[in-house]
A and B are shown apart, each in its own frame.
Chain A
Amino acid sequence: MIVRLFILLIFYSFSANATEVQERILVNGLKVLVKEQHRSPVVVTQIWYKVGSSYEPSGITGISHMLEHMMFKGTDKHPAGEFSKIISENGGRENAFTGRDYTAYFQTLEKSRLAISFELEADRMQHLHLLADELKKELQVVMEERRMRTEDKPRAKLQEYLMAMAYVNSPYKNPVIGWPSDIENYQVEDLQQWYQTWYAPNNATIVVAGDVLAEEVFKLAEQYFSAIPARTIKPLKPQKEMPQVGVRRMTVQLPSEVPYLLMAYKVPSLKVAEKDWEAYALDVLAGVLDGGGSARLPARLQRGQKIATSVGAGYDLGARLEELFLFEATPVKGKSLLDMEIALKTEIRALQRELIDEKELARVKAQVLAHSVYEQDSLFYQAMKLGMHETVGLGWQTSEAYMQKINQVTAEQVRTVAGKYLVESQLSIAYLEPQSMSTKNKMGANHAH
Chain B
Amino acid sequence: MRIKQWIAGVLLAWCATQVFAVAPIKHWQSSQGGRVYFVQSTGLPMVDIRLQFAAGSARDGQHYGLAKLTNRLLKTGAGAWSADQIAQRFDEVGAQYNASVNKDYAQIQLRTLTDKRLLDQALTTFQAIAAQPQFKEGDFQRIKSQALVELKQQQERPAHIAQKAFYQALYSQHPYAHLSSGSIETVGTLTLGDIKQFYQQYYGAKNAILVIVGDLTEVQAHDIAEKLYEPLARGKSAKPLVAVTLPSSGKVEHIDFPSTQTHVLAGLPVLSRIDADYFPLYVGNHILGGGGLVSILFNEIREKRGLAYSAYSYFSPLAKKGPFTMGLQTQNKQRKVAIDVLQKTLHDFIEKGPSEAKLEAAKKNITGGFVLRFDNNRKLLNYVAMIAFYQLPLDYLETFQSKVAEVSKEDIKAAFKRRVPENLLQIISVGGSGE
**Which residues of chain A have a CB within 8 Å of any CB of chain B?**
2, 4-5, 8-9, 12, 15-16, 39-42, 72, 80-81, 84-86, 88-95, 108-110, 112-113, 115-116, 119-120, 136-145, 147-148, 151-154, 255-258, 291-295, 298-299, 302-303, 306, 309-310, 330, 332-333, 359, 362-363, 366-367, 369-371, 373-374, 376-379, 437-441
Give complex CA distance A223, B139 in Å.
Answer: 62
**B358-382 interface with A by 8 A CB criterion:** 361, 364-372, 375-378
* Closest Cβ neighbor of B360 among chain A residues: A89
- Could you tell me if B291 and A88 are in contact, using CB atoms closer than 8 angstroms? yes
B369 smallest CB distance to A (angstroms): 3
Choose, from B10-18, B196-204, B342-350, B405-413, the stretch at the interface: B10-18
The reply to whether B307 and A144 contact each other, CB–CB distance below 8 Å, is yes
13 contacts between A and B (CB under 8 A): A9-B113, A41-B371, A81-B303, A110-B372, A138-B306, A139-B306, A148-B261, A148-B310, A257-B155, A295-B91, A302-B146, A366-B91, A373-B113
B419 in contact (CB, < 8 A): no
Interface positions of B from 34 to 70, Cβ below 8 Å from A: 41, 43-46
Q: Which residues of B contact A143 (CB under 8 A)?
A: 331
Q: Does B365 lie within 8 Å of A363, measured CB to CB?
A: no
Contact B376 A89 (CB under 8 A): no
A298 with B372: in contact, given A139-B306, A147-B260, A366-B93 (CB under 8 Å)? no
Residues of A contacting B302 in the complex (Cβ-Cβ under 8 angstroms): 141
Partner of A309, one of B7, B75, B145: B145
A371 CA / B91 CA spacing, docked (Å) = 11
Within 8 Å of chain A (Cβ to Cβ): is B118?
A: yes
Please encode chain B, from 275 to 306, with 1 for each CB lying within 8 Å of some chain A CB and 0 for all others: 00000000000000001111000010011111
CB distance B258 to A255 under 8 Å? Answer: yes
CB <8 Å contact, B364 and A89: yes
| Neighbouring B residues of A92 by C-beta, 8 Å | 365, 368-369, 372
CB distance A294 to B44 under 8 Å? no
Q: Report B-chain residues with C-beta under 8 Å of the C-beta of A330.
A: 149, 153
Residues of B within 8 A of A41 (CB): 20, 371
Write out, one digit per residue, whether chain B residues 143-174 have a CB within 8 A of any chain A CB (1) or not (0): 00110111011011110000000000000000
Q: Which residue of B lies closest to A120 (CB)?
A: B3
Distance of A291 Cα from B259 Cα, bound (Å): 35
Q: In the complex, what distance in Å separates the CA atom of A369 from the CA atom of B45?
A: 12
Contact at A85–B46, with CB atoms within 8 Å? no
B1-27 residues with Cβ-Cβ distance < 8 A to A are 2-3, 6-7, 10, 13-14, 17, 20
Inter-chain contact A110/B45, CB cutoff 8 Å: no
Query: Cα distance A363–B121 when bound, in Å?
Result: 14
Complex-state Cα separation, A439 to B291, whole angstroms: 40
A259 to B43, CA, bound (A): 47
**Partner pick for A294 among B13, B87, B146, B366, CB 8 A cutoff:** B87
The docked-state distance in angstroms from the alpha carbon of A95 to that of B309 is 14
The answer to whether A12 and B115 touch (CB under 8 A), given A88-B294, A139-B306, A333-B148, is yes
